[in-house]
């Protein structure tokens, strides 16, 4: 999805979430999937912890009953064993599953099984222990609704089913009406509060997710702006090669690096002679076309990641090469062949001989006490026509004149 479109969608959802009720918490499919993916680790930890805790409490109940001499019938023992197995399966599923596709259904099924087991045990137990097991149903609802935090459709349906199960268990139990009414009121009010807390928590979580999405969008937007600004600062507007300032920085960094590795740098100056005359006769657009064609030819011969090229002013170009002597000569010979066939110049036959290219080369021996940037301007005073000059044979004379 386009970032601007997604940004607008996130803002719209955030506005609706803040203005809407507790029940209006549904995102578009794309954002909902992103939200659920973002929450996967929370669901994983919450379900694992609550399942493990429930298993330990049910196992501990065996020890308590054994120590106090409380006995249960076969139905209660089987129901508790099934609940322990179901919780263990949920724990293993959450631990091993990567996508957690069925996490809500697993939690819902285990909640129903555990509640049924507690109600069966409560029905089989005498007072006052019976009340403890009924109360435990409330704690199951609190954990499921406020800690694990199921989606609202699961929460509402499951809460209603739990109340129906408790009501049926109280109807079948032998308690009097007053006690049953107190238990039902406690469970109804507790479940309602847990659902409201779950809804509020879910709303806050979704709002936090949308805010984090907006922050990420702003970060990406700022990074893009910084990259564009950096490009404007370091690159020439017409050729998209380095400008003079950026090339000076590149030359200094390579100078420092090569001083450590005892390597040589090769600087090549290329000049479009009488470039202003060309602009005057052919127009600035043709001049820009010539500069862009020159930059493409130069860029095509840059091989090493440390090679660089710049347009420092007007029709002046400078190239930095860092390879071995043989490789540099091959690069320059290839560049010479391409620069001799500039289509922009060849179309201007009327200017033939009046506008031409010159170039020169200097091998820089790294000296930590010398500033290499001063060589660039002096190179342009010692150039020769590109048609007549072979750089590999002319290097020593030019270097002696410059240095």
Residues 343-349 have a mean pLDDT of 80
Above 60 in pLDDT, residue 335? Answer: yes
Above 60 in pLDDT, residue 244? Answer: yes
- Could you tell me if 248 and 193 lie in one domain? no
Pairwise CA distance, residues 194 & 146, whole Å: 6
- Could you tell me if 322 and 365 lie in one domain? yes
What's the pLDDT band for 366 if we cut at 50, 70, 90?
low
Above 50 in pLDDT, residue 399? Answer: no
Q: Is residue 233 in some structural domain?
A: no
- List of residues 6+ apart from 293 with CB closer than 8 A: 342, 343, 344
- Upstream peptide bond of 346 is cis (omega within 30 degrees of 0): no
What does the chain come to in residues? 403
Q: Is residue 225 in some structural domain?
A: no
Q: Is residue 232 in some structural domain?
A: no
Pairwise CA distance, residues 360 & 300, whole Å: 19
Q: Quick one: how many helices (H) and strands (E) in the chain?
A: 14, 5
- Could you tell me if 111 and 255 lie in one domain? no
Domains: count for the chain: 2
- Could you tell me if 8 and 125 lie in one domain? yes
Torsion, Cα 396 397 399 403, to 10 degrees, reads 130
Q: Where are the beta strands (DSSP E) in 250-325?
A: 264-273, 308-313, 316-321
- Could you tell me if 214 and 258 lie in one domain? no
Residues 168-181 have a mean pLDDT of 82
Question: Cα–Cα distances in Å, from 16 out to 10, 19, 36, 399?
Answer: 10, 5, 19, 71
Q: 7 and 216 in contact (C-beta within 8 Å)?
A: no
- Could you tell me if 213 and 347 lie in one domain? no
- Could you tell me if 258 and 130 lie in one domain? no
Q: 55 and 87 in contact (C-beta within 8 Å)?
A: yes
Question: Cα–Cα distances in Å, from 39 out to 100, 107, 354?
Answer: 11, 15, 71
Q: Is residue 227 in some structural domain?
A: no
Q: Work out the angle at residue 357's Cα, subtended by the Cα atoms of residues 354 and 361, and round it to the nearest 5 degrees.
A: 150
- List of residues 6+ apart from 52 with CB closer than 8 A: 87, 91
Pairwise CA distance, residues 275 & 282, whole Å: 10
Please tell me the predicted confidence (pLDDT) of residue 105: 92
Q: Work out the angle at residue 297's Cα, subtended by the Cα atoms of residues 275 and 244, and round it to the nearest 5 degrees.
A: 60
Q: Is residue 235 in some structural domain?
A: no
Residue-number span of the structural domain to which 279 is assigned = 244-402
Q: Is residue 300 in some structural domain?
A: yes
Q: Is residue 189 in some structural domain?
A: yes
- Could you tell me if 266 and 397 lie in one domain? yes
- Could you tell me if 128 and 47 lie in one domain? yes
Q: Is residue 253 in some structural domain?
A: yes
Last residue of a domain, one of 218, 235, 265: 218
- Could you tell me if 185 and 36 lie in one domain? yes
Q: What is the DSSP string of 317-379?
A: EEEEE-S-HHHHHHHHHHHHHHHTT-HHHHT-GGGBTTBEEEEEEEEEEP-TTS-THHHHHHH
Question: Could you tell me the CATH number of the domain that includes residue 269?
Answer: 3.30.70.270
Pairwise CA distance, residues 336 & 386, whole Å: 7
- Could you tell me if 271 and 368 lie in one domain? yes
Question: Cα–Cα distances in Å, from 188 out to 38, 163, 164, 274?
Answer: 32, 7, 10, 92
- Could you tell me if 38 and 124 lie in one domain? yes
Above 60 in pLDDT, residue 285? Answer: yes
Lowest mean pLDDT among 2-11, 235-244, 246-255, 356-365: 2-11
Please tell me the predicted confidence (pLDDT) of residue 349: 67
């Amino acid at each position: 999805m386009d970032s601007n479109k997604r940004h607008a969608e996130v803002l719209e959802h955030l506005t609706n979430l803040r203005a809407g009720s507790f029940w209006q918490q549904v995102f578009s499919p794309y954002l909902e999937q992103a939200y659920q993916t973002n929450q996967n680790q929370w669901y994983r930890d919450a379900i694992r912890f609550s399942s493990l805790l429930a298993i330990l409490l049910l196992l501990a109940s065996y020890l308590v009953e054994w120590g106090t001499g409380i006995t249960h019938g076969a139905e209660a023992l089987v129901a508790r064993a099934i609940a322990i197995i179901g919780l263990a399966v949920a724990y293993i599923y959450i631990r091993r599953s990567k996508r957690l596709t069925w996490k809500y259904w697993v939690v819902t099924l285990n909640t129903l099984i555990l509640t049924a087991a507690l109600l069966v045990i409560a029905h089989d137990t005498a007072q006052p222990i019976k009340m403890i097991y009924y109360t435990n149903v409330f704690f199951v609802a609190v954990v499921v609704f406020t800690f694990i935090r199921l989606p609202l459709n699961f929460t509402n349906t499951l809460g209603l089913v739990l109340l129906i199960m408790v009501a049926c268990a109280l109807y079948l139990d032998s308690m009097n009406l007053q006690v049953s009414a107190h238990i039902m009121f406690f469970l109804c009010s507790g479940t309602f509060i847990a659902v409201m807390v779950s809804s509020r928590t879910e709303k806050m979580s979704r709002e936090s997710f949308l805010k984090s999405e907006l922050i990420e969008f702003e970060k990406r937007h700022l990074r893009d702006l910084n990259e564009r600004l950096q490009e404007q600062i370091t690159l020439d507007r017409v050729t998209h090669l380095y400008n003079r300032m950026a090339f000076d920085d590149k030359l200094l960094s390579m100078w420092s690096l090569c001083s450590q590795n005892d390597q040589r740098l090769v600087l090549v100056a290329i000049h479009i002679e009488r470039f202003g005359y060309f602009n005057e006769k052919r127009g600035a657009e043709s001049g820009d076309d010539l500069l862009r064609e020159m930059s493409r030819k130069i860029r095509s011969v840059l091989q090493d990641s440390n090679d660089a090229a710049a347009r420092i002013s007007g029709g002046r170009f400078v190239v930095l090469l860092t390879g071995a002597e043989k490789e540099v000569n091959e690069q320059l010979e290839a560049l010479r062949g391409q620069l001799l066939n500039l289509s922009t110049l060849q179309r201007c036959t009327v200017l033939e001989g009046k506008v031409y290219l010159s170039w020169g080369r200097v091998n820089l021996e790294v000296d930590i006490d010398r500033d290499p940037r001063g060589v660039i301007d002096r190179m342009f005073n010692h150039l020769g026509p590109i048609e007549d000059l072979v750089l590999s044979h002319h290097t020593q004379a030019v270097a002696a004149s410059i240095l």
